[in-house]
Structure 1
Amino acid sequence: MLIPTLYQHAQEDSSNSSAEALPELFRKDAPLKVRLQYSNKSLKRDTNDSTYLQSMIWFSDGELWDSLPADLRARGNFRRKTCYFAPLKIRIKRSKSSSTPFQGSEKLKMVLPCQLDRNTGDYVLREYLAYKIFERLAPFHFKTRLAEVTLIEDKGRREVTHEFYGFLIEDMDHLCKRYEGQEVKRLIHPLQQDDLASAQNDLFEFMIANTDFSTTQQHNQKLLFVKKRIIPLPYDFDMSGLVNAPYAAVTNIQNLEGSITQVTDRIYKGYERDTALLQNVRRDFLQKRPEILSELEALETYFQDPLQYREAYEFLESFFSILEDEKKFERQVLNRLRSR
């Protein structure tokens, strides 16, 4: 049969990402302890795609602490302007990373909380959860690692210490090496992208109620070419309804028929695919419901506000209620497939 064959093919392809190919940093689930020190003001003002601050990163993957020189820069135009803490791009020299958890992961992204609010770290946990969910749903995905971050902020003659959760994301170059593929840097129309991977990607974005992406313009999407297939890879989920950050807003990256007024509203943005394929992806998501909820349950002890945890749980459950209902799935997904 066509559909099981497609799923078997995807699982065989994902076997390229063996435990041996996975950098040590991403082989553990326990949070990595990280200490950073820099001027937040300088980071946002003085760094860009090619200009970095020279700094250090202190880390502990057990009881002992170690350190490495690291180059840091701010990333993300929106968060740089809107947030107190900008997310980071981290570079570590390969010659310095040997025999450390960063060996094989010399380029990384780090997601930090946006503001100084007491429960701001809970939004980071919810975005981290989105990555972990997609890891359960699709064979091709970015690896992440939760981090307990201590940031010593240089403010003139003072030092201010902040403690919160963040997480690390593998670089696209590392992902390509892991899957023995290569990045496609030109625009490829979604209907030329792999059907199964596209359906998984689109239904996942619907699950987390994310509108801040475009498979047409490759906004918050990367493309991986592996075994003659073009695979979309989603990232950056802070604008999604699952995260429901205070600054999040519905985006107009693609014009959509039907209006939504808040980020927790779901609207399907996927293109036309074979109905049997979409139904099979739907069943696969439902079968993986316990695994998906287990990813959230594993984070429960890290949440500062129990209401944030409960909100995330109920939000995921509301998605599965759509999948379980034939009429809702037809109305909200099958009847909304895009041809252009």
Structure 2
Amino acid sequence: MLIGLWAIGLVLSAQEASKDYPGQELPELFRSESPLQLRLRYSNKSLKQDTNDSTYLESMIWSSRGGGWDSLPVSLRARGNFRRKTCYFAPLKLKFRKSKTRSTLFEGSEKLKMVLPCQLDRNTGDYVLKEYLAYKLYETVAPYHFKTRLAEVSLFEERGRREVTHEFFGFLIEDMDFLCERYGGQELKRLVHPLQHDDEASVFNAFFEFMIANTDYSTKQQHNQKLLFTEKRIIPVPYDFDMSGLVNAPYAAVTNIQNLSGSITQVTDRIYKGYERDTEILEGVRRVFLNKRSELLAELDEIEPYFQDMRQFREAQKFLQAFFEILEDDKKFERQILDRLRTR
């Protein structure tokens, strides 16, 4: 009975947390689920060579709104060391002047991250869709998460005297400062051992990373994880999922940010990296995921029309179904999760 009551409490907590910020108070950018239409113009070569954490490229951005196009100045820089070196398009950091965003779609979202396709291949946008899906899955199930917005992007790339137009899907991610504001907390930038993190939030995080088969993270080293301090709790919040098995990008590789007992040979293999917690909490989070199965799979169905290669959609669908099969089977759950809990 204790496990059942705990699970019910977690389900209610997760459902309430999905309303974490009243719709009328959310920045307009994140109030809609429909893809945003954006236009950007910059030199890809200059962006990757001439920008860093403190140096930005000045440009313009256009967004479709009410049948017309709004334009405003934007400062851009390349981010992500691996993709910056490996990919043709680097992920972006966007900064706007607050005074320029008033009465625009970007009001209240003056700092954003933007994920773009890695390469120019025909189906490369499907990998972007699957990484966007990962964010939506976590938003669906976990109380604390980043807000995102899918975008149809037209990039006018300056190549010397020529200009080349690219059309693809990307997505925007809210900045950590705004996430902290939504939850009434602050970011912890120092290392905090995972066993000091909030128990429930940690298990949600670990189950999610296991679901998408992501090894490219560390709650101990704070790699692809942010720490939110709110209501006297330390909450890990994950981001950057392009190396996960769910996305299965061509450049993805198994990483070993933390030492793991046992080994996996490909990114689509699942391995649980969560720390030891009370069994009641693990069982409760297990039930939350199972109870939200239809909602989680519905997130994939929502973006089905945008896939270029339906094989990638079906592979993602099958991949998620395999996760739920593990949760449903007591022996698999014990072997792949309960028996793998870390203590250090």
| Band of TM-score, shorter chain | over 0.9
Provide TM-score, normalisation by structure 2: 0.96
Is there any run of 5+ residues in structure 1 with no aligned partner, and where?
Answer: none
Distance (Å, rounded) in 2 between the aligned partners of 1:155 and 1:232: 41
User: 1:337 maps to what in 2?
Assistant: 341
Quick one: structure 1 residues 257 and 14, their matched pair in 2 at CA, closer, same or farther if it must change by over 3 Å?
Answer: same
AA paired with 1:242? L
Q: 1:117 aligned to 2:124?
A: no
1:149-187 CA-to-partner distances (Å, cap 9, x unmatched) read: 000111111111100000000000011111111111111
Q: 1:78 aligned to 2:55?
A: no
AA paired with 2:65? D
Report how many residues are paired: 340
Q: 1:308 aligned to 2:312?
A: yes
- Identity of counterpart residues, as a percentage? 73
User: 2:59 maps to what in 1?
Assistant: 55
Distance (Å, rounded) in 2 between the aligned partners of 1:329 and 1:321: 9
Deviation above 4 Å: which 4+ runs of structure 1? Answer: 4-16
Distance (Å, rounded) in 1 between the aligned partners of 2:24 and 2:218: 33
Residues 57, 77 of structure 2: 8 Å contact kept: yes
Quick one: structure 1 residues 316 and 9, their matched pair in 2 at CA, closer, same or farther if it must change by over 3 Å?
Answer: closer
User: 1:220 maps to what in 2?
Assistant: 224
Q: Which structure 2 residues correspond to residues 126-145 of structure 1 after superposition, within 5 A?
A: 126-145=130-149
Residues 212, 253 of structure 1: 8 Å contact kept: yes
SS of the equivalent of 2:327 reads: helix
> How far is 1:12 from its partner?
5.9
> How far is 1:62 from its partner?
4.0
Quick one: structure 1 residues 105 and 334, their matched pair in 2 at CA, closer, same or farther if it must change by over 3 Å?
Answer: same
Distance (Å, rounded) in 1 between the aligned partners of 2:328 and 2:14: 25
> How far is 1:21 from its partner?
3.1
Provide TM-score, normalisation by structure 1: 0.97
Distance (Å, rounded) in 1 between the aligned partners of 2:246 and 2:183: 28
User: 1:23 maps to what in 2?
Assistant: 27
User: 1:171 maps to what in 2?
Assistant: 175
AA paired with 1:157? R
Distance (Å, rounded) in 2 between the aligned partners of 1:132 and 1:234: 12
SS of the equivalent of 2:68 reads: coil
Instruction: Report which stretch shifted further, 263-272 or 174-183.
Output: 174-183
Distance (Å, rounded) in 2 between the aligned partners of 1:168 and 1:72: 13
Q: Which structure 2 residues correspond to residues 308-327 of structure 1 after superposition, within 5 A?
A: 308-327=312-331
User: 2:210 maps to what in 1?
Assistant: 206
User: 1:328 maps to what in 2?
Assistant: 332
SS of the equivalent of 1:291 reads: helix
Counterpart pick for 1:190 among 175, 191, 194 = 194
Residues 16, 180 of structure 1: 8 Å contact kept: no
Counterpart pick for 1:298 among 297, 302, 318 = 302
Distance (Å, rounded) in 1 between the aligned partners of 2:264 and 2:18: 36
Quick one: structure 1 residues 42 and 107, their matched pair in 2 at CA, closer, same or farther if it must change by over 3 Å?
Answer: same
Counterpart pick for 1:157 among 149, 157, 161 = 161
User: 1:277 maps to what in 2?
Assistant: 281
AA paired with 2:152? E
Distance (Å, rounded) in 2 between the aligned partners of 1:193 and 1:145: 28
> How far is 1:65 from its partner?
0.7
Residues 198, 234 of structure 2: 8 Å contact kept: yes
Is there any run of 5+ residues in structure 2 with no aligned partner, and where?
Answer: none
